[in-house]
Each structure stands twice: as C-alpha cells, then as structure tokens.
Structure 1
Amino acid sequence: MSVIARTADHATHGLAVVERLTPAAAGLATDLAALDGVVGSVVVATCNRVEVLAELGVPDAGKAVDDFLSQRLGPDAADLTRRSDAALTVHLFRLACGLESQVVGEREINGQLRRALSRARRAGTASFGLAHTIEAASRASRRVENETGLAGRGRSIVAVGLDLVGRFVELPGCTVVLVGTGNYAGAVTAALHDRGVARAFVSSASGRAEQFADRHGLTAIADDDLAHHLTEADLLVTCRGFGGPAVPLDAVEAALAQRAAERPLAVLDLAVTHDVDARVADLPGVHVIDLAAIHASVPPADTEQVRLAEQILDEELAAFEADMAIRGIGPDIAALQAWSRGIVDAEIARLGDNPDAEASAIALRRVGASLVHLPTVLLRQAAAEDRASGLLHDLRDLLANGQEA
C-alpha cells in the first residue's frame, strides 16, 4: 500500500489558486475512493490550503487519481505539489503541528485535519493508512502545544484578524454579526468570547443558526434580517465560504443608511472565496479585512519555540516509523506462530487416546507459545531499529523449508 497527496497551499501556489480549488473539494473524497485501486481518501480544505490525500492498493492507481483530478480541478491540477509515503508522512506531521501554516504554530489546522478524517470515516472513505498517519500527526501536535509556547495567544488566523479589527473598533463590549456556522465558525466564536464582545448574532443559509447559537451562546437571526442587525453591529465576521457573496452590497448599504455617519463598521472576511461583495470595501466608514490582509500582518514565530517543536516532531516521526515497521512484520510473525501451532497440533494428534493426552496437549501448547515468544520480541525490536531485513529473510526461508518438510 502507498499513500499520496496532491496539495495547493498559500505559500507555494498563492491564495488565488486555493480559492479556485476550494469549491471542488466538496464530495471529492468519496469520488476518489470509488476509483479502481484507491483504498481510501481524505480531503482537507482550509483558508490556506487544499490537501487531497489518497491511499492506493496498487501503484498504478496514482495515475487514475491524477487523471481524475485533472478533470475535476482543471488546469490547476497540473501544478499541485506531489508527495508520497515517507515525504507525505513528514508533511502531515509538520502540517498538524502548525509548522507549515502561515501563522506558525496555529492550532486550527490540527482540528481541521481531525474533522476531515471524521468526515471521511462517516462517508466510509477513511483507510487505515491515512487514518493512522493523521492520528499520529495529531498526537505530535498535542505534544507541541503542551511542551512549547508556540501555540500561544495570537498564533491563529482568527486572532491576527481580530487584532486588525481592533484598530477600527473596540472589541470589548461591541456587537458582532457572524455569518456562517461551519467548523471555522466555532473557533471564531471562542475568540470573540475571549475578546469580551457584548452581543453576538449568527446567521446561516444552511438553517443551522438556531442549533449553533444554542451551542455557543449566541442569538440566531434570519438571513433576511441581516441588514437590520448590521445597523446595530460594530463588527461583521463571515466564514461561510460557499463560493459566492453571503453578504451582498445592498444589505450593507441599507444598514449604513440607518447608522450614524461617523460610526465605523469593521468587516472580517475569513472565507477563501470571499463572503463579502468586493464593492463593500469602497463604502464610507467600512473597513474590510480579508485573508490577504491577515497574511500580511502575521507576527513572526519565536525561534526557540520553533526549534523545540522541530525536536518534538523528529521524535514523534521516529516513533511513528518504528511503529509502522513493527506493523509491517505482522504477517511474518503470524506465519511463525502458525508454523509453531502446526507442529504442536501434529504432536498432539500423535497422543491418541492416551489418558494424559489433555494435560500433555496443554503443556505442548505452552511450550510452543514460549518458543515463539522470544523470536517475536526480537523481530519487533529489530524492525523498530530498522535492522529486521536479514532476520526476515532467514525466517521466511525457515518457514518455507519447514512447510516443504
């Protein structure tokens, strides 16, 4: 089996490419997993990247994946970064730990990876190899969070965006309208509460506003009430990202007509596909902050904390590789145990109707298990230390000759 990734990200391809690819991410994992030779797929789409992950049952399936992505994603598919196996493992660990993020050390990407895996599991597309790697990367991320100061306050896209908002409005005590109830909206709501906002309303075209509001301590509003509530708002935050403006120009114009001319309105557009009509930025008294503005204002990461994170990453990668090596010799250990059981069963069969047959059979099985135990331990240790190749060669010869005999 082999795992591969096809990736577009903010650093290599730019936000414009990520924006074009994001709408195509919906349903992509299910379609990829249906291809011949593809064992499973997980797709991660965030404001900074699109990660298409697939596990292949046969090497040739990689071409089928690329052909499908060319049809689905268009010309941008040819420029996607390609990774596989060991290189992909390193990439996913670095990604989960926030070391590949625009805001180095941010915690949001680990949650996004885990939610993508959860969606894949619900859809039946999460293969063992992909799930095991993402889970191990997530554990590494938690170590980085707990053992370094890299994921401190200000180390996220939302936090940087709200810092920029603070230049125009006072967040403590302000009124906020939130558009969108997806996974990212939860992080936004937590950050808003942390900044001390007084009132927060939420609107959603999906019909989930009421449920989201109850869960996060907000007030749900209808889509057609957006303009009315904007007349009282100090901040509008959008994170819907469905590929079209969720906040039209006329809604903002109608709200501004009912507000004092000198009262500013800050708009934080966190959608890679832009939720707010671009013309809103030209309205008097409106200050629009989008992802491009956030990326230009990202604070530098602490060098020592990054060094500590890299050290943890190396340790976790080594542990993961050892674990995978041990798992890789599973069939050989199973064959050794089966060979031992075969010999023991043959000896038990020779006991016939001997009155002591039952006790003898128990003793023989214990001896067989004991004889196999030490080679099993040594093989696992050798695999973890990357020196099992010669031992496995000899074991396979032994088992083959034993079967012939």
Structure 2
Amino acid sequence: MLLTLGINHKSATLEVREQVAFSTSQLELALESLCALDEVEEAVILSTCNRTEIYCRLEGADHRRLLEWLGDFHRLPVEALSHGAYWYRDGEAARHLMRVACGLDSLVLGEPQILGQLKSAYQQGRACDSLGSELERLFQHSFAVAKQVRTETGIGENPVSVAYAAVNLAGRIFDDIRHSRALLIGAGETIELVARHLREVGIQGIIVANRTRERAQALADDTGGVAIDLDELESALVCADIVISSTGSERPILGKGVVESALRTRKHRPLFMVDIAVPRDIEPQVGTLNDVFLYTIDDLNEVISENRRSRESAASHAEEMIVANVTAWQHERRVRGAGDLIRRHRHQAERLRAEAESEALSALARGQDPHKVIHKLTQQLTNRLLHGTTSRIREASGAERADLIQAAEELLIDHSPSQRDSVTDSSQHDPLNREPL
C-alpha cells in the first residue's frame, strides 16, 4: 500500500510544524530509522518551512505506526500530532504528490520552489537507498506531470506575492535589471523575500537600510549587500536605481525634499520606487517628481489580484490534468502488478518444464525408445501444468464461486477467431468426410 502522512500549513500551526521539521543533517538518520520499521519497504521524507510529509510503501495497513514513529523521532506525544496530521492512500497519495509537485497545495498557489524541494527529497531517498521501484516510478511520474503543467498552463508565470510582484514590476521598468542597484529600506520578512528575489534575478548590488544596523547587516551578509543607517539614505538614493521600502514606521521615512535632492545628482536617471509599508514610508508627493516611478501596496495588490485569478484558472486546468495522470499511473501500476504475477507463473511453469526435461533426458540416456520418451514427456508437461489450475477450478465450482469460474473461462480459454476457425477447418480434413454437426 502507498501511504502519505503529512502535516502542513493548512493542517497545523507554525509551532507544530517547527517541532516535526527535519533538518538536512537529520534526514539520513531519519530515513534509516523509518525504513527499519517492519511495515516500511520504501520511504521519502519531504521537509520544508510549510510542510513535513512522509511518502512510503507499507506492507499492511498499520498507518498509525508512522505517526508513532514521527512522534518518537521528535520526542513528541502522538496526541499532539494526530489532530494536525492527514493521510492519503494509493491513488489519493499519488494525486497529492502530483498536486504538491505542481504547487497546487502551496501557500502561494503555483509557486515553483516546492518542485525543487521535492527533487531534493527524492535524491536524498536515492542516496540513502530508501527508494524502491514503486516510489521511483511515482516520483518520476509526478515530476513529468509538474513539467507538463508548467508548460501547458502557465500557472507560475504571474506573481502572486507582494515581494515577487515588486521585483517583477522593477524588471519591466529596466531593460536589464542585472545592471541595476537596489536600495531596500527595512529588514523584515517582506524585505527579506524581496532581497531573495532580487538576488535570484542577478541584480548588480543591494543596499540595506534599517533603523537597527545589526538587522540590516545580517540581511546584507545573506545577500552579498551593504548595510547602512537610515541617516545615509540620501547618498544611497544617488546610486540606487530601485527603492523598495517596508518598515513599521508611523511616519514617512523618505520625503519629497530628500528624493528631489538626490535626483539633481542623478541627472535624469530614472528611479523606480515601491512603497509596501502601511502606513506609507514614502511621501505621496514623491510620485509627482520627474524621473520617479512610485508604486504603492494598492498598485501591487491590483496586479496580484489579477494574477491570482489567472493562476486559479490555470490551477483548474492543472487539476484536470492531474486526474488524468493519476488514472494513467494507476493503470500502469495494475499492469506492473500483473507483470509480477506473470513472472511468477512463468517461473513455476519453467520449473515444471525443467523437471520433465531432466526425466526425459535420463530416459534417453538409459536407451529407452525416443518416441515413447517424447510421448511421455508431453503427457507429463500437460498434466503438471494443468493439475493445479484444474484442481482449483473444481474447488471453485464446488464452492459456487461463479466469479472464479468466469475469470477462468476468460483467462484460460482462447476465444480468438483463429482458434474457432481452426476447429471449424478441422472438419474439412476429416478422413471420413463426415458432415459437421
């Protein structure tokens, strides 16, 4: 049985998610411990800031054992986890993994980072030898679905977070944002996200200004930038092309006079400014200055709302694609299951054939008549190959198992036209030239 056990941003609080998260250094030990359970045959662990999920193949249906293991590993009582945990089995487990890979289960709809995190979890499973054929195929199938969704729906094309929208808007103003410098005012979560997105697009430089120099320095160190105090803003405005501000100040930090002074030194180089703060950090009059493009949180929200509607439409299409892909995966899984049965059946038949062949060769070696040996060989093969099947058919008939009798009819009797024709054609070669009945 395939099983997914998870705790995410929709099912549990941040405090609970922090307690069940696995650090990178813990993953190898965790996978080794998990796979040591008698029930677990394969396993992959995904652990991010918003979710901890265990994907595994279990022998049996004792799924609660996984929750007990998770609690034991993190030294937490099971009761503290059970109300925030969710379970998916077989087809639903496959569907959930595909939705996660496509960003449909993320806090930000369609965000692409989760796919990379899933691939890292998959690679960790391979490195720890906790991945078997079942999960290998499921993860590869899910990666292919995510690629198809990204290609055919465009679900990740439009930004739906304030931080990303601000950076995306800046990219539209400048021909090549990589030649620009950014001044970030504040050092909170939103500015941290802005800094990360700016670094991802390859911006030339980042300046971080904050009331507390230590926090500005910490963010600057993480992004390869420079930290300054708020009283250095005017000089920073001279060299910056992009200004994004988000502080908790009750009064504006940048006034018209300061910006106007910096513009005289800039000599008509455009200045793109985004004020994400509420209350605003930048005086509205700054937007009236020449060469200044000033946007507020309301401007971004309008863009984000439009983009979110676009993503929701794409997500609806993606859900339909996932349903079709889950059906395809389940079909392949059933075919693989039949393949295993066929291999075992052929192995059994091969063993019986080898035994009959060995007896025939021994008889020939003793000088027995070859014709009699071959006749006996064919009789033995027929009897040995059919004995088990015919016995079970008789038992099924005695037990009034019409379903098994019907299945045997479909599996064992060849009803193809060629077989019917061969029976009919045999009358044409009847040596007595009898009329067919």
* Normalised-by-shorter TM-score class: 0.5 to 0.7
Contact 2:91 2:326 in 1 (8 A): no
Query: SS state of the match for residue 64, structure 1?
Result: helix
**1:261-280 → structure 2 map (5 Å cutoff):** none
2:130 is aligned to 125
Select 1:305's aligned residue among 314, 319, 330: 314
2: distance between equivalents of 1:228 and 1:100?
Answer: 32
1: distance between equivalents of 2:129 and 2:64?
Answer: 22
Contact 1:102 1:295 in 2 (8 A): no
Q: Using CA pairs below 8 Å that are at least 6 residues apart, which structure has the higher relative contact order?
A: 1
Return the letter of the residue paired with 1:46: T
Q: Does 1:43 align with 2:45?
A: yes
Return the letter of the residue paired with 2:308: P
Distance apart, 1:45 and its partner CA: 2.1
Q: Structure 1: any 5+ residue segments left out of the alignment?
A: 202-223, 239-246, 269-279, 372-388, 399-405
C-alpha distance after superposition, 1:82-126 (max 9, x if no partner): 222222111111111222223333332222111111012112222
Q: Does 1:331 align with 2:330?
A: no
1:375 is aligned to none
1:378 is aligned to none
Return the letter of the residue paired with 1:95: V
Q: Does 1:321 align with 2:330?
A: yes
1: distance between equivalents of 2:88 and 2:219?
Answer: 47
1: distance between equivalents of 2:3 and 2:236?
Answer: 54
Select 2:31's aligned residue among 29, 32, 44: 29
Query: SS state of the match for residue 317, structure 2?
Result: helix
Return the letter of the residue paired with 1:307: S
1:146 is aligned to 151
Q: Does 1:87 align with 2:92?
A: yes
Contact 1:21 1:73 in 2 (8 A): no
1: distance between equivalents of 2:183 and 2:140?
Answer: 35
Contact 1:104 1:301 in 2 (8 A): no
Q: 1:20 to 1:342 in 2, by over 3 A?
A: closer
Q: Could you tell me the TM-score, scaled by structure 2's length? A: 0.54
Q: Does 1:67 align with 2:68?
A: yes
1:77 is aligned to 81
Return the letter of the residue paired with 1:227: Q
Contact 2:245 2:276 in 1 (8 A): yes
Q: Does 1:199 align with 2:205?
A: yes
Distance apart, 1:322 and its partner CA: 0.7
Return the letter of the residue paired with 2:326: L
Return the letter of the residue paired with 1:54: C
Q: What is the root-mean-square deviation of aligned Cα atoms in Å?
A: 5.0
2:291 is aligned to none
Distance apart, 1:24 and its partner CA: 5.8
2: distance between equivalents of 1:68 and 1:177?
Answer: 48
2: distance between equivalents of 1:288 and 1:126?
Answer: 45
2: distance between equivalents of 1:163 and 1:128?
Answer: 41
Q: Does 1:162 align with 2:161?
A: no
Query: SS state of the match for residue 66, structure 1?
Result: helix
2:3 is aligned to 4
2: distance between equivalents of 1:82 and 1:89?
Answer: 12
2: distance between equivalents of 1:255 and 1:121?
Answer: 48
Return the letter of the residue paired with 1:30: E
Q: 1:168 to 1:138 in 2, by over 3 A?
A: closer
Select 1:227's aligned residue among 185, 195, 217: 217
Distance apart, 1:35 and its partner CA: 3.1
2:102 is aligned to 97
2:54 is aligned to 52
C-alpha distance after superposition, 1:303-355 (max 9, x if no partner): 5433332222122111100111111123320132124324543554425369x
Distance apart, 1:134 and its partner CA: 1.6
Distance apart, 1:189 and its partner CA: 7.0
2:415 is aligned to none
1: distance between equivalents of 2:17 and 2:140?
Answer: 25
Q: 1:343 to 1:228 in 2, by over 3 A?
A: closer
- Equivalences, count: 305
Return the letter of the residue paired with 1:34: A
1:215 is aligned to none
1: distance between equivalents of 2:21 and 2:118?
Answer: 15
Q: 1:106 to 1:255 in 2, by over 3 A?
A: same
2: distance between equivalents of 1:166 and 1:336?
Answer: 60
Q: 1:266 to 1:23 in 2, by over 3 A?
A: farther
2:262 is aligned to none
2: distance between equivalents of 1:331 and 1:391?
Answer: 23
**1:367-378 → structure 2 map (5 Å cutoff):** none
Distance apart, 1:131 and its partner CA: 2.6
C-alpha distance after superposition, 1:129-175 (max 9, x if no partner): 333222211111111122222232426x6xx5232457899883444
2:420 is aligned to none
**1:236-251 → structure 2 map (5 Å cutoff):** none
Distance apart, 1:39 and its partner CA: 2.2
Query: SS state of the match for residue 29, structure 1?
Result: helix
1: distance between equivalents of 2:130 and 2:118?
Answer: 14
Q: 1:267 to 1:119 in 2, by over 3 A?
A: farther
Query: SS state of the match for residue 43, structure 1?
Result: strand
> Of Structure 1 and Structure 2, which has the larger fraction of its residues in helix?
2
Query: SS state of the match for residue 306, structure 1?
Result: helix
